[in-house]
Structure 1
Amino acid sequence: MKTGRALTREERTITWQAASLLLGYPDDRLLALRPLLRRAAAELPDATGGPLGRFLDHLDATPPAALAADYVATFDHRKRCCLYLTYYAYGDTRERGKALLRFKTAYREAGLDLDDGELPDHLSVVLEFAATADPEAGHRLLTGHRAGLELLRLALTEARSPWSAVLQAVSATLPPLSGDDHEAVRRLAAEGPPEEEVGTQTYGGPVLLPEPRVRTAAGLSPGARA
């Protein structure tokens, strides 16, 4: 791995593409990509390649059934580890719909199509978009939800989840937290996301959301830049 310098644009997009895959459900397709992802991580600077490599070590050392069970327990049953970015800022309130529309608009402007039944703010989807479709628009979406990403990273770290390494790599591609972001992280950690007065669950309870599928985005394949 390379050391001592900032990421190039290409390294940033490779990091996003690898992280997008590694934050998906650990099925046979993902496990088959491990050698390719390992080569990609080896070519990245330590700030992103190191964490990605550590997570790949975990994939290699853990039985597939255990990986799948841990993924469900981590991301489907813990709101603090929710992979849907707008949840942190808007919770289950009506305002979240407006935020989701901004993601859909960005995808549409880049020529991508997302099924109506899928939510566009899943972190894997956003990273895939940023890596393969429109890096600048994707970067804006990620930095616009910087506080939520940091809270997710902290929650995974506190839970000693191996996926915290993937969030560490993603964070290394983004600007440092500003003063306002620090305050937002503090508030979210203390209070949780906003909630409607009726019909919502308490913070920390289960949240069951659909798996994302961006039909037009290209995956990291053997012929990609890695």
Structure 2
Amino acid sequence: MPSDAVLYQAAALCLTYPDDDLFARLPLLREAAPQLRAFTDHAAVTEPHELAAHYVQVFDLRNRHSLYLSWWRDGDTRRRGMSLVRFKELYRAHGLQFTDEELPDFLPAVLEFTSRTGDTGLLTEYRDGLEQLRARLTAFGTPYAAVLDAVCSTLPPARSEVRR
């Protein structure tokens, strides 16, 4: 398991819809993953309904901040279907059964998978998309950008960063 396993699990919780479970775990998240304090401190002082409305505004209204990794590479094309199948096959190969509550490329699901298996391959493969999402969240001015900052800091540079 990678040394960043706790960070990945905590980031997965931070990037899901903010419910009572998230608010109950904020003190634990703050201690276990200090890299996420910018987000956890913000969440701790924000009314639950306000954080939920902000989550919907950031992630649910447009694909501009999509949490679905294959969308960043494939968009809404037929090719994306094959990418989703590949995610599921990888989960199965590691002995994990995907529940179909979300699409298998949902970033929190990928982060949880990475945390449990130590396999950072999907995060590395989709690093360019993660960087685009991180940059857009930063430009949007949302505290969720800090979560992407922490995750991206654990990965090798994106191809676009290497070219610079």
The answer, yes or no, to whether TM exceeds 0.5 is yes
Q: Which residue of 2 aligns with 1:37?
A: 29
Greater radius of gyration (CA) = 1
Q: Which residue of 1 aligns with 2:84?
A: 100
Relative distance call for 1:64 and 1:141 in structure 2 (3 A) is same
Q: Which residue of 2 aligns with 1:77?
A: 61
Cα distance, 1:35 vs structure 2: 1.2
Aligned letter for 1:131? S
Partner SS state of residue 95, structure 1: helix
The correspondence for 1:9, drawn from 2, 17, 24, is 2
Cα distance, 1:117 vs structure 2: 5.8
Q: Which residue of 1 aligns with 2:118?
A: 135
Q: Which residue of 2 aligns with 1:155?
A: 136
Q: Which residue of 2 aligns with 1:167?
A: 148
> Going by fraction, where is helix more abundant, 1 or 2?
2
Aligned letter for 1:119? L
TM-score, length of structure 2 as denominator length? 0.94
Contact 2:128 2:159 in 1 (8 A): no
How do 1:199-218 and structure 2 match up within 5 A?
A: none
Partner SS state of residue 102, structure 2: coil
The correspondence for 1:59, drawn from 21, 43, 47, is 43
Gaps of 5+ in 1: 1-7, 43-48, 184-226
Relative distance call for 1:36 and 1:116 in structure 2 (3 A) is closer
Gaps of 5+ in 2: none
Relative distance call for 1:116 and 1:25 in structure 2 (3 A) is closer
The correspondence for 1:28, drawn from 15, 20, 31, is 20
Cα distance, 1:114 vs structure 2: 1.5
Q: Output one character per residue of 1:85-111: Cα deviation in whole Å (capped at 9) or x when no partner.
A: 000100110000111111101111111
Q: Distance in 1 between the 2:134 and 2:163 partners? A: 13
Cα distance, 1:115 vs structure 2: 2.9
Number of aligned positions between the proteins: 164
Relative distance call for 1:33 and 1:181 in structure 2 (3 A) is same
Contact 1:146 1:181 in 2 (8 A): no
Q: Percent identity?
A: 49
Contact 2:11 2:108 in 1 (8 A): yes
Contact 1:59 1:67 in 2 (8 A): yes
The correspondence for 2:110, drawn from 115, 121, 126, is 126
Q: Distance in 2 between the 1:31 and 1:182 partners? A: 40
Q: Distance in 2 between the 1:108 and 1:141 partners? A: 14
TM-score, length of structure 1 as denominator length? 0.69
